[in-house]
Chains A and B, each alone.
Chain A
Amino acid sequence: MTIIPAIKKDYLINLAKNGKREDGRGFDDFRNIEIETGVVSKAEGSARVKIGNTQVLSGIKMDIGEPYPDTPETGVMTTAAELIPLASPDFEAGPPREDAIELARVVDRGIRESQLIEVEKLCIEPEEKVWMVFIDIHILDYDGNLFDAASLASLAALMTTNVPAKRFELGDDYPLPIKEPPISCTSVKFDNVVVMDPSLDEEEIAEVRLTVATDKNEDIRAMQKGLNGSFTRDEIKKVIKASIDNGKKIREQLYKSIGK
């Protein structure tokens, strides 16, 4: 922990005891979310998402490649996240570190396990040629809660992606086949208080973190607990409930922003 969070810790804990947060939000409230799609013209799909001061850009590139031998008729997707030094004084250049890998994997799992992309429709020639979908996540400004910002940006980018069939002389471009998106919401706990959508200060004093992705039918599609603290059963129940409530609002905003 750096010096400033250590000083701020008592302040944040005292605020929380009086039911308050530093920026005036309720414990279960998200910061303001902005979603903007089609921001990179060279990308097949792209989106910039702001959650408060956190800013994430996700870009989709597509290419043709060989399928994996065990799934000869399905497309391939990969997710990479870069915590570029632009975004924070603490990020360094170089190969992705642990936290960037975890971020990419959590986002990847959310998309892969919910079968958001209909990969079986991305086969061109079985065992020979399939579409490859590259999801690249660029963190631009880091003020907490990268998981939700990165996954929301990737969803918005994928939902506005056009398969560049024309560039590979395979007919006309068409929208990437997509199913219902799961929305991920992250909470953290410090000093027995659980707050949704942590700011950077809250994240830095957090003891434990939980990300819950929920779908349209209010089913849970993915969960990830982080850090070395622990939750009670009751707290987890409350987090899931808050995630479903926030997920609903975010889903509406997501659909609105992509014009559907």
Chain B
Amino acid sequence: MKSETKLFENGKRLDGRMPDELRKIKIKAGVLHRAEGSCYLEWGGNKVMVAVYGPREAIPRHTQNPLRAIVTARYNMAAFSVDDRKRPGPDRRSREISKVISEALENVILVEKFPRATIDVNIEVLDAEAGTRCAGLTAAAVALVDAGIPMKDIPVACAAGKIEDQIVLDLGKDEDNYGSADLPIAISPRTGNILLLQMDGHLTQEEFDKAFDLALKGCYIISDLQKQAILEKYQTKIGVE
């Protein structure tokens, strides 16, 4: 934590946002030709593309579950998505993120319908600027809907954090680097169930509650954007005005 970097000016954040303001989010469903379902999402400086393949036979065989499908999310960062070129291929960080996203998605997908199958969710981070796991999960949910995978709900993710003793929504790049806490969550908006929860940094109980409420608020805003993106692709097809 560098104290000389000022993260607030006149009550506003470095990028001019208010403490409870999200970065700009743009979601588009169905952008890829080969994929069963796909989504392109821009969230501030993040650019994420997701493709869903399946349900299809899980290979190798020993990964199959005779009672239900497995959900295999693969979070991958492009070599050119960060300041210093990232060596291609999975590292410990992306493996962990892949795992928590897989688990979050598995919760809402009706996996019992597809025994022995896998549903592959490929998340490619093309441009990165803090909060890629939330962006990835949010885009993955839209791609799953686009693929027609039966789900109980459309999951959504958002983070809150703490910078200079203040709780803020959706940390930006410098805020993530110099802030003192980051709390990404994913929820099922229909039930409010928590599907993903991670935290690093330092928060008092009171601050945690505040940050959690704020992240929750962000989730519901983004959830509306997800639904809009899906409607945009399908409303003409199903004749809804």
Query: A and B, one complex?
Result: yes
A residues near B (Cβ < 8 Å) are 39-44, 46, 53, 55, 57, 59-61, 63, 80, 82, 84-89, 93, 95, 134, 136, 138, 140-143, 167
Asked if B34 CB lies within 8 Å of chain A CBs, one says: yes
Say whether, besides A40-B126, A86-B122, A141 and B32 are in contact (CB < 8 Å): yes
Q: Tell me whether A40 and B81 are in contact (CB under 8 A).
A: yes
Q: Is the CB of B124 within 8 A of A86?
A: yes
> What B residues does A167 contact at CB under 8 A?
83
Q: Would you mind naming 22 contact pairs between A and B with Cβ atoms under 8 Å apart?
A: A40-B47, A41-B45, A41-B127, A42-B45, A42-B128, A55-B33, A59-B78, A59-B126, A61-B79, A61-B84, A63-B84, A80-B88, A82-B88, A84-B122, A85-B122, A86-B50, A93-B74, A134-B79, A136-B78, A138-B126, A141-B32, A143-B34
Whether the pair A86, B80 counts as a contact (CB closer than 8 A) is no
Q: How far is the CB of A111 from chain B (nearest CB, A)?
A: 16
Q: Which of B33-85 contact A (CB under 8 A)?
A: 33-35, 45, 47, 49-51, 53, 56, 74, 76, 78-85
- Interface flag for B120 (CB, 8 Å): yes
Which chain B residue lies CB-closest to A92?
B59
> Which of B51, B82, B83 touches A87 (beta carbons < 8 Å)?
B51
Contact check, B89 vs A95: say whether CB atoms are below 8 A apart. yes
Instruction: Output the least CB separation between B52 and chain A (Å).
Output: 10
Given A84-B122, A85-B53, A86-B49 in contact, is the A55-B32 Cβ separation under 8 Å?
Answer: yes
Interface centre among B32, B82, B128 (most CB of A within 10 A): B32
* Residue of A46, A53, A60, A93 contacting most chain B CB atoms (<10 Å): A93
C-alpha gap A138/B35 in the complex (Å): 16
Query: Contact check: which of B32, B56, B81 meets A42 at CB < 8 Å?
Result: B81
Query: Contact: A46 with B80, CB < 8 Å?
Result: yes
Q: Output the least CB separation between B123 and chain A (Å).
A: 8
Looking at the complex, which one of B33, B74, B80 makes contact with A61 (CB distance below 8 Å)? B80
B148 at the interface (CB under 8 A from A): no
B32 and A59 within 8 A (CB): no
B122:A136 contact, CB within 8 angstroms: no
Contact A59 B80 (CB under 8 A): yes
Alpha-carbon separation in the docked complex, A85 to B83 (Å): 24
CA distance A138 to B85 in the complex (A): 14
Using CB atoms, name the residue of chain B closest to A82: B88
Which residues of chain B are within 8 angstroms of A44 by Cβ–Cβ distance? 80
**Is there a chain A Cβ closer than 8 Å to B90's Cβ?**
yes
Q: A42-B81, A42-B83, A136-B79 are in contact. Are A84 and B34 (CB under 8 A)?
A: no
* Nearest CB on A from B137, distance (A): 16
Closest-by-CB residue of A relative to B50 is A86
Sample of 15 more A-B contacts, CB < 8 Å, known A42-B127, A88-B34:
A40-B47, A41-B45, A42-B80, A43-B80, A44-B80, A53-B34, A60-B80, A61-B85, A86-B50, A89-B34, A93-B90, A134-B85, A136-B78, A140-B124, A143-B33
A61 — which chain B residues lie within 8 A by C-beta?
79-80, 84-85
In the assembly, what is the distance between CA of A41 and CA of B50, in Å? 19
Q: How far does the alpha carbon of A248 sit from the alpha carbon of B126 in the complex, in Å?
A: 31
- 3 tightest CB-CB pairs across the interface, nearest first? A59-B80, A53-B33, A61-B85
Contact of A141 among B33, B53, B80, B126 (CB under 8 A): B33
CA distance A141 to B32 in the complex (A): 6
Measured in the bound complex, the distance between the Cα atoms of B79 and A57 in whole Å is: 11
